[in-house]
Amino acid sequence: MTQPPPPPPQQPPQGGGFGPPQDQPPQDQPPQTPPPAAGPDLGQAPQPGYGYPQAPSAPQTPQTPPSAAPQNPPQPPAGYGYPQGAPAPQPPQAPQTPPGYGYPGQQPGPYGQPQQAPYGQPGYGQPGYGQPGFGQPGYGQQPGYGYPQQTMPHPPQAGQPGGGKKFNAQMLIIVAAVVAIALIIGGGVWYASSGKDDGKKDDTASSSGGTGGTDDDNGGTTSGKEKAPSDPSAKVLFQVPAPEVKNDSTVVVSGSWLTDKAYVKSGIARIVGYDRDKGGELWKIPLAGPVCQASRHVTDDNLTAVLYQPAMPTKADPSHGCSQIALIDLDAGKRLWTKTVKTGDQLINFDNITLSGKTVAVGSTSGGAAFDVSGKLLWSPKPADSCYDAGYGGGDKLVAVRKCGSYDQRQLHVQTIDPKSGKVISEYKMTEGIEYASIVSTNPLVVAADVGDSAGDGSGISDFFSIDSKTGKLRTRISAPGEQFAARCEGITRVEACNLLAVGNDRLYLPTEEHDGTGKYSRTNEIVAFDLATGKQTGQRADAGDGYTISPLRMDGGNLIAYKRPPYDKGGQVVSISGTGFKETTLLQNPATDAVRDVETSMSPEYSEFLYAEGHLFMSKVYASKRSTVRDKEYLAVGFGTS
Domains, the chain, with CATH or none = 235-641 (2.130.10.10)
Residue 318: the pLDDT is 78
Residue 456: the pLDDT is 66
Residue 451: the pLDDT is 87
pLDDT by residue (tens digit) across 263-305?
Answer: 999 999 999 999 999 999 999 999 999 999 999 999 999 999 9
- Asked if pLDDT for residue 34 goes beyond 80, the answer is no
Regarding predicted confidence, which is higher, 178 or 432? 432
Residue 394: the pLDDT is 98
Of 7, 632, 23, nearest to 318 by C-alpha is 23
Residue 116: the pLDDT is 34
pLDDT by residue (tens digit) across 480-489?
Answer: 988 899 998 9
Residue 493: the pLDDT is 67
How far apart, in whole angstroms, are the C-alpha atoms of residue 574 and residue 590? 9
Largest distance between two CA atoms of the chain = 68
How far apart, in whole angstroms, are the C-alpha atoms of residue 9 and residue 492? 7
Burial class of residue 199, CB neighbours in 10 A (0-12, 13-18, 19+): middle
What sign does the dihedral 588-589-593-595 (CA atoms) show? positive
Regarding predicted confidence, which is higher, 501 or 127? 501
Q: How many CA atoms lie within 13 A of 336 on its CB side?
A: 18
How far apart, in whole angstroms, are the C-alpha atoms of residue 291 and residue 269? 6
Residue 218: the pLDDT is 30
- Asked if pLDDT for residue 32 goes beyond 90, the answer is no
Q: How confident is the model at residue 24 (pLDDT cuts 50, 70, 90)?
A: very low
How far apart, in whole angstroms, are the C-alpha atoms of residue 73 and residue 251? 15
Residue 467: the pLDDT is 98
Regarding predicted confidence, which is higher, 464 or 28? 464
Of 629, 570, 618, 610, nearest to 48 by C-alpha is 629
Which helix (H) or strand (E) segment holds residue 595: the answer is: helix 594-601
- Asked if pLDDT for residue 315 goes beyond 90, the answer is no
Residue 180: the pLDDT is 36
pTM over cut 0.95: no
Q: How confident is the model at residue 61 (pLDDT cuts 50, 70, 90)?
A: very low
pLDDT by residue (tens digit) across 177-195?
Answer: 333 333 333 333 333 333 3
Residue 111: the pLDDT is 39
Q: How confident is the model at residue 630 (pLDDT cuts 50, 70, 90)?
A: low
- Asked if pLDDT for residue 40 goes beyond 50, the answer is no
Residue 91: the pLDDT is 43
Q: Count the helix, strand and coil residues of the chain and give each as a percent rounded to the nearest 5.
A: 5, 35, 65
Question: What is the arithmetic mean of pLDDT over 26-32?
Answer: 40
How far apart, in whole angstroms, are the C-alpha atoms of residue 302 and residue 164? 38
Of 19-23, 269-273, 541-545, the poorest mean pLDDT is in 19-23
Q: How confident is the model at residue 628 (pLDDT cuts 50, 70, 90)?
A: low
Regarding predicted confidence, which is higher, 428 or 84? 428
Residue 136: the pLDDT is 31
* Amino acid present at 412: L
- Asked if pLDDT for residue 588 goes beyond 90, the answer is yes
Residue 521: the pLDDT is 86
Question: What is the arithmetic mean of pLDDT over 126-153?
Answer: 32
- Asked if pLDDT for residue 205 goes beyond 80, the answer is no
Residue 222: the pLDDT is 55
Question: What is the arithmetic mean of pLDDT over 38-44?
Answer: 44
How far apart, in whole angstroms, are the C-alpha atoms of residue 617 and residue 600? 11
- Asked if pLDDT for residue 80 goes beyond 60, the answer is no
Question: What is the arithmetic mean of pLDDT over 397-403?
Answer: 97
Residue 406: the pLDDT is 81
Angle at alpha carbon of residue 502, lines to 497 and 507, rounded to 5°: 130
Q: How confident is the model at residue 96 (pLDDT cuts 50, 70, 90)?
A: very low
Radius of gyration over every alpha carbon of the chain, rounded to an integer in angstroms: 22
Residue 631: the pLDDT is 58
- Is residue 324 within 8 Å of 271, Cβ to Cβ? no
Regarding predicted confidence, which is higher, 64 or 384? 384
Question: What is the arithmetic mean of pLDDT over 358-373?
Answer: 97
Residue 574: the pLDDT is 98
Regarding predicted confidence, which is higher, 80 or 549? 549
Contacts of 8 (CB under 8 A, 6+ apart): 173, 174, 178
**Whole-number average pLDDT of the chain:** 74
Regarding predicted confidence, which is higher, 23 or 462? 462
Residue 455: the pLDDT is 67
Residue 491: the pLDDT is 61
Of 80-89, 171-180, 581-590, 608-617, the poorest mean pLDDT is in 171-180
- Asked if pLDDT for residue 477 goes beyond 90, the answer is yes
- Asked if pLDDT for residue 125 goes beyond 70, the answer is no
- Is residue 498 within 8 Å of 514, Cβ to Cβ? no
How far apart, in whole angstroms, are the C-alpha atoms of residue 411 and residue 257? 35
- The 3-state DSSP class for residue 281 equals strand
Q: How confident is the model at residue 514 (pLDDT cuts 50, 70, 90)?
A: very high
Contacts of 351 (CB under 8 A, 6+ apart): 83, 179, 180, 181, 293, 322, 363, 364, 365, 390, 391, 493, 494, 495
Q: How confident is the model at residue 595 (pLDDT cuts 50, 70, 90)?
A: very high
pLDDT by residue (tens digit) across 224-256?
Answer: 899 999 999 999 999 999 998 877 778 899 999
